[in-house]
Amino acid sequence: MLAFLTARGAGLDDPLRLRRAESTRRVLNLKLNHDRDVDRIHGNAINTIDIETIEGRYMLSGGADGVIVIYDLENFSGSQQYTCKAVCTVGRSSRHVHKFSVETVQWYPYDTGMFVSSSFDKTMKVWDTETLKPAEVFEFEGNVYSHHLSPIAKKHSLIAVGTTNPKIQLCDLRSGSKIHILQGHRAEVLSVRWSPRYEHILATASADSKVKMWDVRRASSSLLTLDQHNGDKTKAASETVNTAHDGRVNGLCFTGDGLYLLTTGTDDRMRLWNSATGENTLVNYGKVCNESRKKLQFTVSRGCSPEFVFVPCGSTVAMYALHTGKLVTMLRGHYNNVDCCEFHPDYQELYTGGKDCNILAWVPVLRSPDMEEESNGTNKGAGPSSANPAFQDAWSSDED
């Protein structure tokens, strides 16, 4: 660590190298934090969680009981042992509560004053955080599996919505209406995701085993349909042959830079795709247990080198190296199946929710002062990477 700081102070190192190395070390040392509890509010499975990116302080959760909870993750007690309190709840006593299971919750990307939820009661609601009342309600013909707001959009305010209907609905926040549909899938759409790199690019996953990429500025069909065998991607072939998995595709997640797309399916496989070309990178993650009939929420680390992916696997969360497929560790702590996980990039923490009605916090183990002094003594004069393998940064600078 001291070698990194010295090199950074002398201008010998890339400004981001120390941050990447420390972020990587912290992610590699994630453990279940027994000193941090999250208020247990839900009476049934927790399907979805989301952490806002403005302050990185508030977390949303949605459960199979229809309840939505907002938690404050900040520790004001000054004590090492504390509880993340529920600051407000849309409970069963509220007349605005969803009637059935909440499948997706998401903060508005630019303001914590608004969030969006969707449910099996065939509605999607845009909420005012201050009053906990819906400012807008969109109704659909079938159950809503997934919705997503673009994290970077400046020129549109569209919410993509996947339902039991094979057509993807695009809803406009500004006008409060459904303005467009995307046709191409032949079964229910289980997951939708906007690219964090290009605001008009949308990925959708369906029970028809297909994953499609769309440019919503085009009135015609999808840009391409991902093929696990890297076959012909022409329109004719895409519509008839190309499949991303051999079962239902129920999970989508872009990497932080938007260059790659991860998909999960009920064939117990996870695949990594080049999001620009649609090419299967053929990274082998082995068997990734996936028993969910609905959307599976998994996540990718940000700011690390290399990056890692966290995916629910039964009652555990599997952590893989993104580009090699190596299983790094299995995070065990839930008593029942895990349905969702969310990475907190500000502190390199992970939050997971499952059918045991618990939200667990996985926090990096603090560096031991004794170990740091010992490593400084035994590796005096050596490079930073020899002190701790986590500092072996995959990035290079002109000085290397």
pLDDT in tens, 267-290: 999 999 999 999 999 999 999 999
Within a domain: 366: no
The mean pLDDT value for 46-74 works out to: 96
On the question of pLDDT at 320 being above 80, the answer is yes
Q: Rounded mean pLDDT of the chain?
A: 89
pLDDT score, position 1: 62
Q: In this structure, is residue 65 part of a structural domain?
A: yes
Distance CA 338, CA 35 (A): 21
How far apart are the C-alpha atoms of 80 and 338, rounded to whole Å? 26
User: Percent of the chain having pLDDT more than 70?
Assistant: 87
Q: Give yes or no for residue 395 having a pLDDT over 90.
A: no
**Predicted pLDDT at 127:** 97
Kindly indicate the confidence band of residue 329, based on its pLDDT and cuts at 50, 70 and 90.
very high
Query: Is the residue at 380 inside a domain?
Result: no
Q: Would you say residue 107 lies in a domain?
A: yes
CB 24 within 8 A of CB 12: no
Mean pLDDT over residues 329-338, rounded? 96
pLDDT surpassing 70 at residue 319: yes
Is residue 283, in this structure, part of any structural domain at all? yes
Query: What are the φ/ψ torsions at residue 143 (nearest 5 degrees)?
Result: -60, 140
CATH number at residue 240: 2.130.10.10
Is the pLDDT at 255 greater than 70? The verdict is yes
**What domain range includes position 220?**
44-293
* Domain count along the chain: 1
Amino acid at 363: V
Residue 237's pLDDT is 53
pTM for this prediction: 0.88
Domain assignment present for 236: yes
Q: In this predicted structure, what is the pLDDT of residue 10? A: 73
Query: For tokens 């490593």, what's the residue?
Result: 375
Whether residue 277 lies inside any domain: the answer is yes
Evaluate if residue 374 carries a pLDDT over 60.
no
**Residue 6's pLDDT is what?**
77
User: CA dihedral in degrees (49, 52, 57, 63; nearest 10)?
Assistant: -20
Q: What is the mean pLDDT of residues 45-71?
A: 96
Q: What pLDDT was estimated at residue 400?
A: 46
The pLDDT confidence band at residue 228, using thresholds 50, 70 and 90, is: very high
What per-residue confidence (pLDDT) applies to 382?
44
Q: What per-residue confidence (pLDDT) applies to 233?
A: 58
Q: Using CB atoms within 10 A of its CB, is residue 245 exposed (0-12), middle (13-18) or buried (19+)?
A: buried
The pLDDT of residue 236 is: 53
- When comparing pLDDT for 357 and 5, which is higher? 357
Q: What is the pLDDT of residue 20?
A: 87
Task: Look at residue 121 and tell me if it is in a domain.
Answer: yes
